[in-house]
Amino acid sequence: MQPLDLIKTRFQIQSIHTEQYSSIGDCIKKIYQNEGILSFYKGILPPILADVPKRATKFFTFEQYKQLFSFGAPSPTALSFTLAGLASGVTEGFLINPFEVVKVRLQAENQVFSKQISAWSMAKVIVHENGFGLSGLNKGLTSTLFRHGIFNMIYFSFYHNIKGYMKPYQDKKLEFLRKFMIGLTGGSIASCINIPFDVAKSRIQGPQPTAGHIKYKTCLRTIHTVYVEEGVKALYKGLLPKMLRLGPGGAIMLLVNEYALDWLQKNT
């Protein structure tokens, strides 16, 4: 999945003034020719380090918020799933943002993989230059909170609400496929809706067009700037690789979590 994430980031950080890639195929070709095959895995360490606590936070807090937002009802309602998804995404965003800052900085660099500094060294450079705050290791925090909050809100709400409306199958294989398709659709829809915030996040956390001048600073202003200068299509840059990663990936995460919970409830 990491090569898809790198391709998404490369598309999102390029503006009309710095355009390098005309298509996904062109992006793959140029990265391979100019940077080498290992460069598709630039920035892989921060997601690896953050993935387990990120997923644990996503699903654990969703379950807790789901109970909180049931407001005394005997079972969670459609509103419960929606608010719990939103709150879990915001919580997740606070945790993941420093890792995202380091990852985007590494993915944006165009040199050969072997010449790139390590994730730890990049983190130290960021902290040394700008500290831990909103100009440093927590740069683009608002965009990250919007991105994760909106994604989880749609992702969890769609899956649990639609799954409840659709009649389950008795056949285990068909039931698995039913849940997988609902999760796939939910992840894809959430990716389409939250991507403008993803583009803003990449522009803020990535290299600025002019060295020494911060053009992309705040979330909503960045979205407005991209829209005015490049048009609405620019707010959807990187959508296809994002959907290819988070559509099936989102479905797999939901099913693993659901079947694991079922197993634990039956065996503990």
pLDDT in tens, 157-190: 999 999 988 889 999 999 999 999 999 999 999 9
| pLDDT for position 20 | 85
DSSP class of residue 246 equals H
Identify the CA nearest to 226 among candidates 6, 8, 14, 4: 14
What number of other Cβ atoms are within 10 A of residue 38's Cβ?
12
**Alpha-helix residue ranges (DSSP H) falling in 109-218:** 119-130, 141-165, 172-205
From 135-144, 192-201, 206-215, the region with the lowest mean pLDDT? 206-215
What mean pLDDT comes out for the span 37-42? Answer: 95
Longest dimension (CA), the chain: 62
Tokens of 258: 């659901």
**pLDDT of residue 204 exceeding 90:** yes
Phi, psi of 44 (to 5 degrees): -80, -25
From residue 116, give the alpha-carbon distance in Å to each of 137, 216, 222: 19, 25, 28
5 within 8 A of 245, measured Cβ to Cβ: yes
Burial of 262 (0-12, 13-18, 19+ CB in 10 A): exposed
Identify the CA nearest to 246 among candidates 202, 189, 161, 178: 189
| pLDDT for position 60 | 94
**pLDDT of residue 35 exceeding 80:** yes
Averaged pLDDT of the chain: 93
99 vs 106: CA distance, rounded Å: 11
Whole-structure pTM value: 0.93
| pLDDT for position 268 | 76
From residue 167, give the alpha-carbon distance in Å to each of 141, 162, 191: 40, 10, 26
At 211, the pLDDT band (50, 70, 90 cuts) reads confident
At 84, the pLDDT band (50, 70, 90 cuts) reads very high
**pLDDT of residue 44 exceeding 90:** yes
Q: What is the SS3 assignment for 110?
A: coil
| pLDDT for position 184 | 96
Name 188's Cβ contacts closer than 8 Å, sequence gap at least 6.
243, 246, 247, 250
**pLDDT of residue 262 exceeding 90:** no
**pLDDT of residue 150 exceeding 90:** yes
167 vs 165: CA distance, rounded Å: 7
What mean pLDDT comes out for the span 138-150? Answer: 97
